[in-house]
Structure 1
Amino acid sequence: MRQTSIGSFPLPDRGRVSSYVAHVPATEGRELPVSFDQGIHVGVGPRPGSWMGVGFTPQVFTPGVPVDRDLLAAAWHAVIARHGTLRTAFSTGADGAVRLHEIEVLPGSWVDHIPAQGQRPADVVQSVLDSACSPYERPSHRLLLVEGEGRPTVVIGADHAHVDAWSMLVLVRDLTTILDDLLADRTPGADLPPVPAFAEHTALLAAQPPAPAEVTARWAEILRRAGGVMPVFPLSLGDVSRPRPDVVDVVDILDAGELAAYGDRAAELGARMLPLTVSVMTRVTLELTGAPLRAVMPVHSRHEPRWRDAVGWFITNSVLDADLPDVPHCAAAVKEAVILGSYPLAPIMAPYGGMPTAPGMFALSWLDNRRLPVTLPPGLSPYQLSASLPTQGVMVWFLLNDDGMHVRCRYPDTPEAHASVGAWLTAVSDGIRAEVGRPPLRFAVA
């Protein structure tokens, strides 16, 4: 599974783009709890690019042969039936608060999307997802089919309030499994494990006791040191007082053999690869800025086995704070970040009016797909997709797969950000490669 933006996703230059539009009655079911992160995300309101997506090419599709759309739609409805969050919708109450209700998602129809002059299929896909997967849409997810040269491509998009990166793997696994079952005339999804709804996780988290005093105090210290906001990128990004068009760079840092050697190197130092990578980033940041590494770090909350096959936003923000580049210190910093993100954030952030952010926010994400308990069938060529949209901050994703390690970085399109982020990212990639005795590798734009 690679990660890229929709603008860099390898779709044909010409082709037919269609999507399956489910029918949702106006009536609502019972009200469900809204998680802290859902409330922040949805509370910003409708806007393009609030979605996450995944694109893949099912092997059951044959190049040049029309797809059985009724079968694909039936498989998608079976996926929707499995995951409660796909049968919910957000609204705003009379008090302005974000609310969540159960909805019915009934059979609908396929719609062809005619491109405007000069639009590529990727542009059409983004346009559909921007409108269909906005926070208040009912439902705020959509299944698309792109047919052109080669094997047809399926794209699944959903507003981020309902999914995380792990969830996208689950959706691909479930859809391809159910599609195979329907083609073989088996009971769809009979071998897939039953899964609870994400709203149950939200309720359990809200019922937890308050965080220990030392955790709340540590959050206060981190925010104070960062000027009362979440950490920002430590080098100049230029004028980011307003969102700028985004730049997305994808760097292939290590191939499969080099990644195995990198894991061995981390083991020699008594750590995993993440603390070793944090060590490299901390050293680079100190060398370039004289400041420690401080960044927002998403951490997951799928701590119990029952959530491993569930779909939802099982991610919350924490902070990685590393002052020294030695690996044991960085391992402790990673551990602390996990602890800080393991308690309900709503009461911790209440004195700040929610998660306090500022232009230039710096975030680091780490996902080792090889360690996830979700296995995809071979040959799908899957990509995790995000929108191309204006941004004010820097987001770095490290992705580890069977074919190696790559990093994806999004930042504002300003001359200063090009220079600053480019220098930081180049130094980090070179530092990682140096740990396994490999020469510098200048990154290429995806």
Structure 2
Amino acid sequence: MQVTTADLWEPAPGTILRWDVKAGGSGTPAVLSLNQRNHLAGAMAGEASVWLAGAFDTEGPIDAVALGHVWHAFVERHSSLQLEVARTATGPAAYRHHPGGLVWTMAEVGATSTTGETRKRLQQALAEGCHPFGYPAYVPLAVSRPDRSTIVLGMDHLHGDAYSIALVVDEVATLYESYRDGFGRPALPETACFLAGVEREYDEPVQVWHDDDRLLGWHAFLRARDFVLPTFPLGLGVAPGERVRQASLVREIADHALVERVAVRARDQGASTYAAALVALAGAIHDLGGPERLDTLAPVQTRSDRASRRAVGWYTTTVPISVAADLSDRGLAAAGAAVRAGMRLGEVPLDQVMASLPEPLVQARRDVFMVSWIDYRHLPGNGRAGERAAHHISAPTLADDLQLWLSRTDAGLAARVRFPDAPAAHAAVTALLERFGERLREIAGPVS
């Protein structure tokens, strides 16, 4: 899976097709998750739309009839894509549409002749259609070519998370191949109903006592920071309260062999590869003038059973992690323990964490410094991601802090960095990634 942003995406030219869908009625009332409510609060306040898309290649020109069947089947399978949110005087109101009442139409957007033109037109279609209010908040697209075509599904963050994009690529590709080849709808693994899960959590919320050690762990992390959320500890050339255009950088940090050596060293100390990567990142930041400890927030997915692992939806929470810039065995072991402790804190609903804080939380910047980790080797469809040229594409927006996505695949470890488009930030990110790779090599040790 290639994780990138729309401004760095390089889709080849061809004939762009788009599928539009209209709901047949008002739908039935639905419940929104905490992530969705927070996302919509930003949208109500005028924040730019945040969308993400899955894209992959398939042989030959697009069979539009087959792909039309695919979109209907995929939306029928995943309840998250049946959700509509409307603006009301009292805030967002959610509704669920029965997939049998949806009306689908296809339109030919037009032909393109260059990669730049193709990128621009696809990005425009995604930006216009993937906004959280109204139905749908997703856009199915394709770029048809005589030899090899591209299929795209973009959606507002309301509908899904990064894990969902792997599901989009795997299931849409599987459905399309079956319909195109005349076999009809194939059998797919059981999937959970995201909207029903949200409703259950709303009706039967997890009860956490005030002296729960998980709540106290959150309090300890935040108290050590005077209840200020983490920010990237190196200068980015953006003043507090100032947001500028987002810049993006995608880079391979380590090849397969190097990451495997890091993983072995980490495992010997009871730590994960992610923990070792955080230690390397902490060391890189410290080398560049930052603190000896790295405090960050990490998004983690909450799919806990086989059915939810096949469901599109926003199944994530956020956990705090603090590691030292210590590449010794002891430092790796401590980082492994810190990551495990952070994951356990993710068992507590964030709204209960916020309600329990003894002091108000301070958010110095609009963005929060975070380091995400996804090991795509364990996600659906990984075995064919390379041949399909699978892409995870995110929308470029505004930024005032740095956010880092680390992706492990069969090829190695790659990084996508989102940061303010300012000279100081560009210099900091370039130096950081270079030193990050060096620190990973130090952890890996010499080739035996």
Common topology (TM > 0.5): yes
Describe how 1:200-349 pairs up with structure 2 within 5 A: 200-206=196-202, 207-212=204-209, 213=211, 214-240=213-239, 241-287=241-287, 288-323=289-324, 325=326, 326-349=331-354
Distance 1:109 1:253, change over 3 A: same
Q: Distance in 2 between matches of 1:180 and 1:225?
A: 53
Contact 1:48 1:131 survives alignment (8 Å): no
Distance 1:117 1:11, change over 3 A: closer
Partner of 2:388, secondary structure, is: coil
Q: CA deviation at 1:28?
A: 2.4
1:418 aligns with 2:417: no
Q: CA deviation at 1:401?
A: 0.7
Partner of 1:182, secondary structure, is: helix
Q: CA deviation at 1:209?
A: 2.8
1:278 maps to amino acid: L
Partner of 2:11, secondary structure, is: coil
1:388 aligns with 2:376: no
Q: Distance in 1 between matches of 2:205 and 2:337?
A: 25
Deviation string 1:125-154 (CA, Å, 9 cap, x unpaired) is 111111101011301111111235851111
Q: Distance in 2 between matches of 1:272 and 1:217?
A: 24
Q: CA deviation at 1:67?
A: 1.9
1:443 maps to what in 2?
A: none
Contact 2:138 2:155 survives alignment (8 Å): yes
**Greater displacement, 376-385 / 134-143:** 376-385
Distance 1:236 1:227, change over 3 A: farther
1:365 aligns with 2:372: yes
Partner of 1:290, secondary structure, is: coil
Q: CA deviation at 1:357?
A: 3.5
1:107 aligns with 2:115: no
1:442 maps to what in 2?
A: none
Contact 2:243 2:420 survives alignment (8 Å): yes
Unpaired runs of 5+ residues, structure 1, are 440-446
Distance 1:161 1:262, change over 3 A: same
One of 70, 81, 89 as aligned partner of 2:76? 81
Deviation string 1:310-331 (CA, Å, 9 cap, x unpaired) is 1100011221122463011111
One of 152, 159, 174 as aligned partner of 2:171? 174
1:444 maps to what in 2?
A: none
Partner of 1:177, secondary structure, is: helix
Deviation string 1:387-429 (CA, Å, 9 cap, x unpaired) is 1222112110110111111111111011221222332222112
Distance 1:437 1:386, change over 3 A: same
Deviation string 1:293-321 (CA, Å, 9 cap, x unpaired) is 01110011112222110110001122112
Matched positions, count: 430
2:33 maps to what in 1?
A: 35
Distance 1:67 1:296, change over 3 A: same
1:186 maps to what in 2?
A: 183
2:90 maps to what in 1?
A: 95
Contact 1:283 1:324 survives alignment (8 Å): yes
Unpaired runs of 5+ residues, structure 2, are none
Q: Distance in 2 between matches of 1:396 and 1:384?
A: 15
Aligned-residue identity in percent: 25
Q: Distance in 1 between matches of 2:364 and 2:56?
A: 35
Contact 1:85 1:312 survives alignment (8 Å): yes
**Greater displacement, 31-40 / 283-292:** 283-292
Q: Distance in 1 between matches of 2:428 and 2:368?
A: 14
**Greater displacement, 352-361 / 294-303:** 352-361
Contact 1:169 1:376 survives alignment (8 Å): no
TM norm structure 2: 0.88
Q: Distance in 1 between matches of 2:252 and 2:229?
A: 29
Q: Distance in 2 between matches of 1:265 and 1:291?
A: 21
Distance 1:321 1:437, change over 3 A: closer
Partner of 1:424, secondary structure, is: helix
Partner of 2:398, secondary structure, is: coil
Distance 1:438 1:49, change over 3 A: farther
Q: CA deviation at 1:230?
A: 2.0
Q: Distance in 2 between matches of 1:30 and 1:354?
A: 37
Describe how 1:2-151 pairs up with structure 2 within 5 A: 2-12=2-12, 14-25=13-24, 27-45=25-43, 48-58=48-58, 61-62=59-60, 66-96=61-91, 98-105=92-99, 106-113=102-109, 120-147=117-144, 151=148
2:174 maps to amino acid: T
**Greater displacement, 282-291 / 239-248:** 282-291
Deviation string 1:188-212 (CA, Å, 9 cap, x unpaired) is 032x122121122223434243334
Q: Distance in 2 between matches of 1:343 and 1:290?
A: 29
One of 404, 426, 439 as aligned partner of 2:412? 404
TM norm structure 1: 0.89
Partner of 2:27, secondary structure, is: coil
Q: Distance in 1 between matches of 2:304 and 2:40?
A: 25
Q: CA deviation at 1:122?
A: 0.8
1:345 maps to amino acid: L
Q: Distance in 2 between matches of 1:291 and 1:276?
A: 15
Deviation string 1:127-185 (CA, Å, 9 cap, x unpaired) is 11111010113011111112358511111101111111111111221111112222343
Q: Distance in 2 between matches of 1:150 and 1:257?
A: 34
Distance 1:139 1:92, change over 3 A: same
Deviation string 1:46-95 (CA, Å, 9 cap, x unpaired) is 6544111111102xx31xxx422121111111011100111111123442
